[in-house]
Structure 1
Amino acid sequence: MRACGGCRRFLFFLPLVFFLPYLLSVLELHEKSVVEDLPRKNRQKFDHLILGPAAGQRLPNRLQCQGLKALNKTSFQASSIGNSISFVTVFTIYNTSLDVHVDSRASNMVTVGNASYSKTERSMAILNVFINFIQVTMPKSDVFILTDPASDLSMPRKGVTIYPIHGEYSRDKLMLQRIRSYITFLERRIREHSQGQGHINHYVFTDSDIAVVDDLGHIFHDYQNFHLALTFRNNKDQPLNSGFIAVRGTPDGISRAKIFLEEVLRVYSSKYMNASRMLGDQLALAWVVKSHPSFDARRFTKAQPFVEDIIGASVLFLPCATYNWTPPEGAGQFHGMPLDVKVVHFKGSRKRLMLESWNFFSSSSDISDMLCLILMSGRTKYDF
């Protein structure tokens, strides 16, 4: 009888043996779905800075912050060739007819600090801050703004030149036009050199939503044998970011950089027009580089500069971590900000953070402390 009782108890618990793993897997799946849903609930954009813990605490060679005070200072390096470097960006103003309606204008207004901006005004504010940072860190450099001749763009500032170039500047084609404008700009520099008018002046082509926080002259001094420089990151599909391209200002450097960009434009137009609004230029850059027979893409996994010959040009690859660092929404956020950061890129929804950073720097005059503000705010989506 006892044996039969044991059998009954065994038979009673037998279904649980099979059901329990299923129950646990369901609970695990539910827990996973809850975790995945968390970011979706926090996707709203904020109209003020949200400060969090500074990533990279106690990691070597990373900025250490106590509140908005930097405990270790970034290594600012002034260059003696700053007056031989020009920054070049593409910028245009779109139809702003909606702004004439008071109700529509009010709904599109954004306040940062003591100033309020419409959509057009905030774009102009970003452009002005872009120039401000250059004039602080590289005061001898000038800025060229490549723009649509039809754009009503005025920038009466010392060292700033509005440079009209005909093209297609619609939002859907702006990234494609940017490469075309770069090529046209370089062609004119080649023509000047051929007429004996040009002098050696290096160029840094950038997005207008970057902050130069250290002198970049050392790139052209420390690396003598490159024609153009690109920034890379450890990203399989998009290892290259087109928001920073440096070109050596010799006739040979300008000519080879133009040929390289013409190949990028050809690949862009033939392979990636479905991504013409954004990312197409980065995909085309990656295709041109990675399709070169001798190129080893594993070099992108280490944040160390290297040089490679690509279609007749000597290309210097610089790590984004230093020369194109973005307040991250990706894996880099856990590693903090490198102490040798030179350029901060305020992509996408980080534009408010760019304006707030300039306001903070204007009141503190300390770039290292300002970088703490950026580091502690970088994981939040803001309103523009």
Structure 2
Amino acid sequence: MRVFSGWRRFLLCLPLIFFLPHIFSVLELQQTSTVEDLHKKQTKKFDHLVLGPAAGEGLHDRLQCQGIKALNKTQFSASANNFNFGENIAFITVFTTYNSSIDRTINGKLRELVTVGNTSYNKVERSMAILNVFINFIQATMPQSNIIILTDPASKLPVHKNRVTLYPIQGEYSRDKLMLQRIRSYIAFLETRLQEHSQWQGHINHYIFTDSDVAVVDDLGQIFNNYPNFHLALTFRNNKEQPLNSGFIAVRGTPDGIRRGKVFLQEVLKVYSSKYMKASRMLGDQLALAWVVKSHPSFDAKRFTKPQAFLEKIGGASVLFLPCAIYNWTPPEGAGQFHGMPLDVKVVHFKGSRKRLMLESWNFLNSSSSSDISDMLCLILSSGRTKYDF
């Protein structure tokens, strides 16, 4: 009887031997699906600001926030102290628009618009709104500066503001070639500056080339006063493959500075065209910048690991390297974001999906007399790594 009892138990357990692996597979699949669903929820783009704790709490050299109120104010420069007599700064950006009819409809149906505040935008209107906010920030922090927009001659940009100039440059402005064209436009612009130097009559215009999705939140004139020996300035971060960001390039406005800056960019363009055309839509210019700098025999790439400005000779040009943490700080990624925002941050770069945050930040700053830049920076810092609908 005991033998038959043992066989009976074995036969009863036999189905479980076959079905247990399937049960575990189903449970594992459900667990994986739950993780994937959670990931999808976390990466979902929002159509409104989502605020959380501000990074850098308790660090003495970082912005401290209580909600969107700054507890320690950032130290902003006084414009009058940052310019020598007869010197000024011009901001240069490359900008164009594409066919708006594609953005308005999909299969004959009106495409959903994006609303920020009380205004709704299609894709082209969003780009123009970003450009206008880019101009607004510069005119708020550096009102004596000029802004020059390098653009496709075929573009009809509706920009009508004081101290803003449209500068058409013939070239290839398709989305796939825009980053390549940007360097070509910079070189063409600097070439015209050299040709016109006899008309300067002692006046010097320094040039800062930036992306149009940056907010200048402090006066940048001190760069040219505090570091009098550079021809060209780049921003760097502690990133092995892409240590240099092309969204901020400064050129000293002397004939020698412009000439050496142009030659440096020509070398970057040469490397870009020969080595990185597969990355022509994005990142190719940054990879080419890094190649030109890091291939110089005397250059020590370990200097990128410390967020401190330094000067280096690269191919005949004196290049100033400025930390992204201060001159090209990025909310979702980039140097210093896990440790909060430096008190002396000067440029905020709204890369990728952070364009809504750029518009919301300007709206907040412009909303009432009690709002100031420090509070606005708390709004940016408290937004964390949320992805928005731009």
- Structure 1 position 289 matched with structure 2 position 317: no
Query: What percentage of residue pairs aligned between the two structures are identical?
Result: 77
1:127-169 deviations in whole A, cap 9, x for unaligned? 0000000000000001000000011212110000000000000
Q: TM-score, normalised by structure 1?
A: 0.88
Provide the residue aligned with 2:94 in structure 1: 90
Q: Distance in 1 between matches of 2:41 and 2:275?
A: 36
* Pairwise CA distance, 1:98: 2.6
1:36-62 deviations in whole A, cap 9, x for unaligned? 885444211000000011001001200
- Structure 1 position 345 matched with structure 2 position 341: no
CA separation of 1:105 and 1:214: change in aligned 2, threshold 3 A: farther
Instruction: Report 1:111-122 matches (<5 A).
Output: 111-122=115-126
Instruction: Report 1:222-371 matches (<5 A).
Output: 222-329=226-333, 332-364=336-368, 365-371=371-377
* Pairwise CA distance, 1:329: 3.9
Q: Distance in 2 between matches of 1:100 and 1:117?
A: 10
Q: Tell me if the contact between 2:307 and 2:323 (Cα under 8 Å) persists in the aligned partners.
A: yes
Instruction: Give structure 1 stretches of 5+ with no counterpart.
Output: 1-26
Instruction: Give structure 2 stretches of 5+ with no counterpart.
Output: 1-26
1:17-44 deviations in whole A, cap 9, x for unaligned? xxxxxxxxxx9xx999987885444211
CA separation of 1:105 and 1:47: change in aligned 2, threshold 3 A: farther
Q: Tell me if the contact between 2:332 and 2:386 (Cα under 8 Å) persists in the aligned partners.
A: no
- Structure 1 position 382 matched with structure 2 position 385: no
Q: Which amino acid aligns with 1:45?
A: K
User: Which SS does the other structure have where 1:204 is aligned?
Assistant: strand
Q: Tell me if the contact between 1:98 and 1:104 (Cα under 8 Å) persists in the aligned partners.
A: no
1:93-148 deviations in whole A, cap 9, x for unaligned? 11112356598674241000111111111100000000000000000001000000
Q: Distance in 2 between matches of 1:251 and 1:372?
A: 41
* Pairwise CA distance, 1:79: 2.9
User: Which SS does the other structure have where 2:196 is aligned?
Assistant: helix
Q: Tell me if the contact between 2:130 and 2:355 (Cα under 8 Å) persists in the aligned partners.
A: yes
Q: Distance in 1 between matches of 2:35 and 2:201?
A: 62
User: Which SS does the other structure have where 1:42 is aligned?
Assistant: helix
1:55-112 deviations in whole A, cap 9, x for unaligned? 0100120000001100000001023355600000000011112356598674241000
Q: TM-score, normalised by structure 2?
A: 0.87
Q: Which amino acid aligns with 2:260?
A: R
* Pairwise CA distance, 1:194: 4.4
Q: Tell me if the contact between 2:180 and 2:285 (Cα under 8 Å) persists in the aligned partners.
A: yes
CA separation of 1:344 and 1:330: change in aligned 2, threshold 3 A: closer
- Structure 1 position 62 matched with structure 2 position 68: no
CA separation of 1:211 and 1:272: change in aligned 2, threshold 3 A: same
Q: Tell me if the contact between 2:232 and 2:317 (Cα under 8 Å) persists in the aligned partners.
A: yes
CA separation of 1:106 and 1:78: change in aligned 2, threshold 3 A: farther
Q: Which amino acid aligns with 1:317?
A: F
Query: What number of residue pairs does the alignment pair up?
Result: 357
CA separation of 1:133 and 1:331: change in aligned 2, threshold 3 A: closer
Q: Distance in 1 between matches of 2:290 and 2:232?
A: 15
Q: Distance in 1 between matches of 2:188 and 2:298?
A: 30
User: Which SS does the other structure have where 2:379 is aligned?
Assistant: helix
User: Which SS does the other structure have where 1:188 is aligned?
Assistant: helix
* Pairwise CA distance, 1:370: 0.2
Provide the residue aligned with 2:171 in structure 1: 167
Q: Distance in 2 between matches of 1:36 and 1:135?
A: 45
Q: CA RMSD, aligned part only? A: 2.3
Q: Distance in 1 between matches of 2:384 and 2:47?
A: 14
Equivalent residue in structure 2 for 1:202, among 203, 206, 213: 206
Q: Tell me if the contact between 2:207 and 2:250 (Cα under 8 Å) persists in the aligned partners.
A: yes
Q: Tell me if the contact between 1:232 and 1:239 (Cα under 8 Å) persists in the aligned partners.
A: yes
User: Which SS does the other structure have where 2:341 is aligned?
Assistant: coil
Q: Distance in 1 between matches of 2:189 and 2:37?
A: 47
CA separation of 1:104 and 1:227: change in aligned 2, threshold 3 A: farther
Q: Distance in 1 between matches of 2:287 and 2:203?
A: 33
Provide the residue aligned with 1:14 in structure 2: none
